[in-house]
């Protein structure tokens, strides 16, 4: 992967530098634009234009890949381990939290949102409770359990846990919407 990255940087450098030098020389009058246009009218000139266009498209794709790679790294949550950095994707943390909410808290309907904070992760849990559940007790339990378990098991510090109760639904009522979303 490193060799491919170095090759991409090299091709990008040569291509952009070559086009830049050519435009500066043409603009300053050192390179005649009329001779350049007459060369481009030939088959060799057309082939060169197609080659340069294709190379520019490849450079654009390469930079798009770099941008996507940077975006992925920006969304990761980090833990600095004894021998280096450990990265966790938001999906991995959400899966872990979903298991805790189902198994330890007993929630069936919830949605998990994660936010980057200065020193870790901010967690928002949106849920619907039943009438027999005490909102403050469940909310505080979710906050306590998630802040302990996520920190302990993933190494990512929990900055805050927000619980949003979206509704209180009877046990026998039919569910109008199903929004158990772990993604």
* Token pair for 1: 């992967």
Q: In this model, does residue 76 exceed pLDDT 80? A: no
pLDDT in tens, 40-59: 888 888 888 888 888 888 88
Among 99, 100, 106, 82, residue whose Cα is nearest residue 148? 100
Q: In this model, does residue 8 exceed pLDDT 70? A: yes
- Domain closes at, from 75, 110, 131: 75
Q: Which residues contact 26 (CB under 8 A, 6 or more apart)?
A: 32, 33, 36
For residue 93, tell me if it sits in a domain: yes
pLDDT in tens, 141-173: 999 999 999 989 988 889 999 999 988 876 554
Do residue 101 and residue 151 come from a single domain?
yes
Give residue 177's pLDDT: 45
- Domain closes at, from 13, 44, 75: 75
Do residue 17 and residue 57 come from a single domain?
yes
Do residue 55 and residue 112 come from a single domain?
no
The number of distinct structural domains making up the chain is 2
For residue 114, tell me if it sits in a domain: yes
**Confidence class for position 109, pLDDT limits 50, 70, 90:** confident
For residue 173, tell me if it sits in a domain: no
Q: From CA 75, how far away is CA 34, in angstroms rounded? A: 51
Q: Which residue has the tokens 């039943």?
A: 130
Residue span of the structural domain in which 10 resides? 2-75
Q: Tell me how crowded residue 6 is: count the other CB atoms within 10 A of its CB.
A: 10
């Amino acid at each position: 992967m490193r060799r491919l990255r170095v090759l991409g940087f090299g091709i990008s450098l040569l291509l952009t530098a070559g086009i830049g030098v050519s435009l500066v020389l043409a603009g300053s009058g050192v390179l005649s634009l009329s001779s350049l246009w007459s060369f481009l009218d030939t088959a060799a000139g057309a082939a060169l234009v197609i080659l340069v266009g294709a190379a520019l498209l490849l450079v654009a794709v390469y930079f798009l890949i770099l941008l996507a790679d940077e975006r992925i790294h920006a969304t990761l949550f980090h833990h600095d381990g004894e021998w280096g950095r450990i990265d966790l994707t938001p999906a991995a943390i959400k899966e872990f939290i979903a298991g805790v909410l189902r198994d330890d808290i007993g929630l069936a309907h919830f949605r998990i949102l994660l936010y980057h904070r200065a020193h870790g992760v901010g967690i928002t849990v949106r849920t619907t409770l039943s009438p027999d559940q005490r909102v403050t007790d469940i909310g505080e339990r979710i906050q306590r359990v998630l802040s302990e378990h996520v920190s302990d098991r993933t190494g990512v510090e929990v900055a805050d846990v927000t619980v949003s109760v979206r509704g209180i639904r009877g046990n026998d009522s039919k569910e109008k919407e199903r929004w158990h979303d772990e993604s």
